[in-house]
């Protein structure tokens, strides 16, 4: 039986059983609420979800829920990117959450992942809305830096990629982020290394090499200037995860 015939049979069966999918507007309204960054939506019962009209993607109930959670996370991710959230941050968070979905073995665990996903993206969008929006050039500069994080980036390379003068772009970065362009490059590299320090056993030497620092000692100096501790101290002090810029 070809797909067209199968589709016609399935539509006829759903019509007979008076089964209809949730409306696209209702579904998209939920994504838009998250992308708005309104923290009020976190006050409701996020975990509760009526799966009855979300479609059957698998005969296995748990697998069916997993598929829908993956779709949910993918859609939220794209709505938030459209709303201004940094693409690389969004997709990396999405990948992390989808991997968690894949490891779930119970509906209760999946419900917890849904709460985690909605909370993480809503809070990220709220912070974005509270902060000052970045200009077109600075946002594209940030995107370029994130996408080339493992390269030994220079201000000139970033500016050239954007077709701008390095000094002009650096002034824009300083005005909007508080960092010059070169300082921001090092800031993002150190920020990325925090995740690697907390979630892997990769040595500081390998981290510095992966992130394109001139040397391990250069990485340690930059990290200490940014957070007030060395990478080794940061890794050992698991409770001290909220370091401020120094």
190 CB-side CA count, 13 A: 26
What average pLDDT does the structure give for the chain?
84
134's tokens = 């970045």
Length of the chain: 246
Residue boundaries of the structural domains of the chain: 3-130, 136-236
Asked whether 204 and 216 are in contact (CB, 8 A), the reply is yes
* CATH tag, 136-236: 1.10.10.60
How far is Cα 43 from Cα 57, in angstroms, rounded to an integer?
A: 30
> Does residue 46 have a pLDDT over 80?
no
pLDDT digits (tens, 9 = 90+) for 63-88: 999 998 999 999 999 988 888 788 87
| H-assigned helices in 40-154 | 61-82, 87-103, 107-130, 136-147
pLDDT digits (tens, 9 = 90+) for 154-189: 999 999 999 999 999 999 999 988 999 999 999 989
pLDDT digits (tens, 9 = 90+) for 86-97: 887 888 899 999
pLDDT digits (tens, 9 = 90+) for 189-226: 998 898 788 877 889 999 999 999 999 999 999 999 99
Average pLDDT over residues 218-241: 86
Reduce the DSSP state of residue 188 to 3 states and report it: helix
How far is Cα 110 from Cα 93, in angstroms, rounded to an integer?
A: 16
12 burial type by CB count under 10 A (0-12 exposed, 13-18 middle, 19+ buried) = exposed
For tokens 């000139």, the residue is 156
Give the pLDDT confidence score for residue 244 in this predicted structure: 46
Give the pLDDT confidence score for residue 99 in this predicted structure: 94
């Amino acid at each position: 039986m070809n797909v067209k015939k199968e589709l016609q049979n399935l539509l006829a069966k759903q019509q007979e059983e008076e089964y209809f999918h949730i409306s696209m507007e209702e579904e998209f309204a939920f994504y838009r609420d998250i992308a708005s960054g309104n923290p009020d939506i976190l006050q409701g019962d996020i975990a509760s979800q009526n799966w009855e009209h979300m479609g059957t993607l698998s005969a296995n109930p748990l697998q069916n829920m997993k598929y829908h959670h993956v779709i949910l996370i993918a859609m939220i991710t794209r709505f938030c990117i459209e709303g201004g959230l940094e693409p690389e941050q969004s997709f990396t968070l999405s990948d992390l959450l989808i991997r968690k979905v894949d490891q779930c073995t119970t509906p209760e665990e999946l419900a917890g992942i849904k709460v985690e996903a909605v909370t993480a993206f809503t809070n990220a969008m709220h912070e974005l809305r509270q902060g000052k929006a970045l200009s077109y050039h600075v946002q594209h500069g940030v995107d370029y830096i994130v996408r080339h994080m493992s390269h030994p980036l220079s201000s000139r390379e970033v500016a050239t990629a954007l077709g701008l003068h390095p000094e002009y772009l650096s002034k824009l970065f300083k005005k909007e982020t508080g960092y010059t362009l070169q300082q921001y490059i090092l800031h993002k590299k150190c920020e990325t290394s925090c995740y690697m320090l907390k979630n892997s056993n990769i040595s500081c030497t390998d981290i510095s090499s992966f992130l394109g620092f001139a040397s391990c000692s250069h990485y340690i100096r930059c990290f200490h200037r940014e957070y007030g501790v060395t990478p080794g101290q940061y890794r050992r002090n698991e409770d001290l995860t909220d370091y401020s810029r120094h």
